[in-house]
Amino acid sequence: MDDNHAQTFLEEAFELLSDLEASLLELEENPSDSELIGRVFRALHTIKGSGAMFGFDEVASFTHTIEAVFDDVREGKLPVTKDIISLTLKAKDLIRFMIDAPSDEASAPYEAQTLIDSFKEIVSGKNLSAEAAPTKTPSLNKKADEASSTPFKNPDETYRIRFTPSRDIFLTGTNPLFLLKELQFLGDCRIFAEIDQVPSIDDIDPEQCYVFWDIMLTTDKGLDSIKDVFIFLDDSNKIDIAAVGDEPSTDDSEENKKLGEILVERQDVSRDALLETLSEKKKIGEMLVEKGLVSPEKIESALIEQEHLKKIKKTTQQKEESASSIRVPAEKLDTLVNLVGELVTVQARLTQLASLFNSSELVSIAEEVERLTGDLRDNTLNIRMLPIGTTFGRFKRLVRDLSQELGRDVEMTTEGAETELDKTVIERLNDPLVHLIRNSIDHGIEPPSVRESIGKPRAGMLHIAARHSGAYVLIEITDDGAGIDKDVIRNKAIEKGLISADTDIQEKELYSLIFAPGFSTASAVTSVSGRGVGMDVVKRTIDNLRGSVEVNSEKGVGTTVTLKLPLTLAIIEGLLVEIGKQFFILPLTIVQECVELTRRDAEMSHGRDIANIRGEIVPYIRLRESFNINGSRPDIEQIVVTEIERNRIGFVVDSVIGEHQTVIKTLGKVYRNIKGISGATILGDGTVALIMDIAGLANSAYAAAGFGTRN
């Protein structure tokens, strides 16, 4: 099997499985939604066909069985139940496992057979084994089999169908409405009932069918699929199927098909009568009706066809425009970002050299390169931005399974799914969010009986919201559970030796103790919690992402955990400062202003590291002392005032050089755990500048002053 084709199948299969899971979870909430049932069926059908085509025979055979069950659901023979949803979700997991490791683990066939047996029990003993026959069985309709097994869709084609059932069709036990409904599953379908042959009420025979239907169907399933819908009807029923030209035209200069042309093609009016009527100056539909050449119902039906063709034409244009997008492996994007980072560094070097030479032409070129590099940087980073909703969708399954395991009733809602974040941040965010959600359900949301006894709804609420805040994204996980008991946290912290019994600690610092390694308030170890791991993983991961965590809770009301994360980890706007002969970068997003600090100002504070800035007292940290940089301080220093978690704090440096596009480089293993430093960058002249971890420096200063940490 060709590696490129195999990779294409794997990518498509994973997307289909993700869509299948999302559809099943929605279907559980809306079991009568026929569109969701169709989505589940189509996902299973495509996985089956693609699997057979690319040699995943076990996947194809197993999926065919599940598809047969949902075919019964689609036809109304089987209701959507919680058991069917649960089994299909397990089947989805097994299909993923079989695709990931097709030659691994001999237990897969056993698990597949166990699930098949469970499905058989659900359908009340219905024999599915015959329907679940191997997919390689020869078929009479080879063309249709080939079409169903390919992972690539045929182009859409529009068909005009006139279905004229025989008058005695009801006597044969056939309901025409079921046939029309089956056509709707094939694609975009418009149906119009022709009733001009219906007699007066006195002459109607209720056992006779007087109605016929005009159907416009746009589908990629082909002509054979349409014919299969009517395969069991005898010759007394008239079915006319005609393709309406080729694929709908996308040429804006070509007019949409006119009403008269449609009526002539459908043989509702002759061409001579049409030409004669066109000589009058009225709307064609009105004139044909006035002359008695065609009924108003047929005009309305033709107008519906015209509208359908316009819609399909517009849809085709949109599809062709969107077809310009391509799949790109993540590794290529990472390489592109690295190259852009190097280009930013070279551009900074060019700008620095241009300033040394008295050449207006060179300065002009450097400025143009700087502008182009900035645009390229912004566009490259935007390519890596993904909506966070892709992550939110995964947690619906987690909440469902976990709430069932713990005997909770939980309703999960999301907000801000369209909020974009760097793909690297999203990938590393999965584990922290999983731990926070598990913690909310296990520790926060009470069992239904307990909630009911205290006047709360039986179902608990878990809300995940995301929104932009400057160069950061805020993600909030909120539950309406029991909240955090501060006394329990305090007693556990004393027991663990994290604080002493006489320590006076603020609420914010108290909540931050839950992120300490090994800290847990669970009374017993379960499969979900109790071992003191999880929240420390959250804190460590968010710190590595240069973000922060904040907890707010009210006992008996609920808890909110807020994650503050940078939009990207690759390139940031920084403020370049100098201390001694060393350079440092502060993230520009948290910088508010820069003010001078003279020796006289420092002496007036009487040894306290505080500054009076326009009547506001702002504490500051001397970075020269924090980093043990030797040398004498200049007479006039600079205070870079920042805002951290809604508190203003200053950082004293020798001088502020200016803004700088900062390409973030990770530090080696030896320097990775140095407090106050989050990375490094290379300046235009090759000098290394360290990127400061402002929150870490503030926490270290507070701890040194005996106030604990600020998180």
Average pLDDT over residues 420-445: 86
DSSP secondary structure string for all residues of 473-525: EEEEEEE-SS---HHHHHHHHHHHTSS-TT----HHHHHHGGGSTT----SS-
Give the 3-state secondary structure of residue 157. strand
Contact 466, 416 (CB under 8 A): yes
Across-strand partners of 650?
A: 620, 641
Tell me what pLDDT residue 655 has.
92
Average pLDDT over residues 361-386: 87
Residue 419 clears pLDDT 50, i.e. is over it? yes
Contact 179, 163 (CB under 8 A): yes
Q: What percent of the chain has pLDDT over 90?
A: 7
**Which pairing describes strands 410-415 and 460-469: parallel, antiparallel, or unpaired?**
parallel
Give the whole-angstrom CA distance, residue 143 versus residue 154: 12
Q: Which helix H or strand E contains 634, and what residues bound it?
A: none
Tell me what pLDDT residue 463 has.
92
Contact 313, 249 (CB under 8 A): yes
Residue 398 clears pLDDT 50, i.e. is over it? yes
More confident residue, 698 or 141: 698
Residue 253 clears pLDDT 60, i.e. is over it? no
Tell me what pLDDT residue 153 has.
46
Tell me what pLDDT residue 462 has.
92
Residue 436 clears pLDDT 70, i.e. is over it? yes
**Amino acid of residue 492:** K
Least confident of 289-293, 478-482, 536-540, 642-646: 289-293
More confident residue, 5 or 559: 559
Tell me what pLDDT residue 346 has.
87
∠ at Cα 564 (561, 566), nearest 5°? 155
Tell me what pLDDT residue 155 has.
63
Give the whole-angstrom CA distance, residue 579 versus residue 589: 21
More confident residue, 553 or 497: 553
More confident residue, 521 or 191: 191
Tell me what pLDDT residue 192 has.
85
More confident residue, 279 or 333: 333
Query: pTM of the prediction?
Result: 0.57
Q: Which helix H or strand E contains 436, and what residues bound it?
A: helix 423-439
Average pLDDT over residues 185-194: 84
Give the whole-angstrom CA distance, residue 510 versus residue 493: 9
Other C-beta atoms within 10 Å of 618: how many?
19
The alpha carbon of residue 276 and the mean position of all alpha carbons in its chain are separated, in whole angstroms, by 58
Average pLDDT over residues 273-286: 65
Give the 3-state secondary structure of residue 215. strand
pLDDT band, very low/low/confident/very high, at 127 (cuts 50, 70, 90): very low
Structural domains for the chain: 3-149 (1.20.120.160), 157-322 (no CATH), 330-384 (1.10.287), 386-566 (3.30.565.10), 571-704 (2.30.30.40)
Contact 391, 430 (CB under 8 A): yes
Span 133-151, pLDDT tens digits: 333 333 333 333 333 333 3
| pLDDT, the chain, mean | 78
Supply φ then ψ for residue 198, to 5 degrees. -75, 125
pLDDT band, very low/low/confident/very high, at 653 (cuts 50, 70, 90): very high
Give the whole-angstrom CA distance, residue 369 versus residue 377: 12
Span 280-295, pLDDT tens digits: 556 667 777 777 777 7
Tokens of 536: 């420390």
